[in-house]
Every structure is written in structure tokens, then in C-alpha cells.
Amino acid sequence: MGATVRICVTVNGERRESEVEARTLLVYWLREELGLTGTHVGCDTTNCGACTVHMNGESVKSCTVLAAQADGAEVTTIEGLAPEGGLHPLQDAFWEKHGLQCGFCTPGMIMAAADLLQRNPNPTDDEIRHGLEGNLCRCTGYHNIVKAVKAAAANEVPA
């Protein structure tokens, strides 16, 4: 075991403290230490976006952030995006507009889309495509993902 670091991170509104190896990636800490498996490991190279979370309100790929770098930060995962027992409007929209198939990319796609809509609440199709370009989907062809993000932005999804 290598050098360890003590970290304190607010995850989904809850303060979490841990001793981690200095080389531990945030994605593995979230999944293995905290059991938040909605954050997926797809490539470990920042190419696919399946590991996207929000750190201090901004979208980041957690496979390229050390857990130690998140010390003192606020991290939101897909599990913390919606109120307890409910769905976030983007989750509803992905369901209603068939923006998912296998579902592997969906958590990262939704986290990236939530960040996009926070910065641009009424994006065009091109702006949505550009905002999600760091997230890969092998199933859908992206058309329904764009429709889902547009529907969530327009509040077209029943609550």
C-alpha cells in the first residue's frame, strides 16, 4: 500500500471522511468506498464520460480526478441528483424520450446534461450536442438523448 491521505468530501449532501491511497481515483473511491455504483467506469482515460459527476457544481470526469483532489469539495453523483425517492427531470426525460438503451452511459450523460442546463437553460440541438460531446453512447445514435435534454429544458416531462 502506498502513501495515504485523509480526505473529507461532501458527497450528495453528506460529509464523508476517509483515508485513501494518494493514487486512488475519485471514481473508485465513490464506487468502492462509498458504494455509489451509479458512477460508471468505462475507459479510465477520460474518453467516454461514463464517470461524470459534479464537483463544486461543475461537470468532471471522475476517472481523471484523484480522490485527494476532491478533499474539501462538494461532489454530486447520479444518486444525489434527484430528491429522495424521486427522479430528476432529466431522468424522467431520458425515460419518456427513449434516450437510453443499455443504460451504461446514462448516468454520465445525465450529469453532463444537468451541468449544461445549469449553464444554458434553453440550449439548441447543436449546443446540446456540443455540451455532451465528451460523453459516448454506443447504442442510441444520440438523437433521442438530444430530444430528452430538450424536453427537460422545456419542462415537457410530466412531474
Please write the tens of the pLDDT for every residue from 89-148. Answer: 999 999 999 999 999 999 999 999 999 999 999 999 999 999 999 999 988 779 999 999
Report the alpha-carbon distance of residue 97 to residue 140 in Å, rounded.
Answer: 11
Domains and CATH numbers, the chain: 4-80 (3.10.20.30), 89-153 (1.10.150.120)
Structure-derived torsion over alpha carbons of residues 114, 22, 4, 38, reported in degrees to the nearest 10: 30
pLDDT digits (tens, 9 = 90+) for 20-47: 999 999 999 999 999 999 999 998 888 9
Which long-range contacts link 30-36 to residues 24+ away (Cβ below 8 Å)?
30/62, 30/75, 30/77, 36/11, 36/12, 36/77, 36/79
pLDDT digits (tens, 9 = 90+) for 50-72: 999 999 999 999 999 999 999 99
pLDDT digits (tens, 9 = 90+) for 75-103: 999 999 997 888 999 999 999 999 999 99
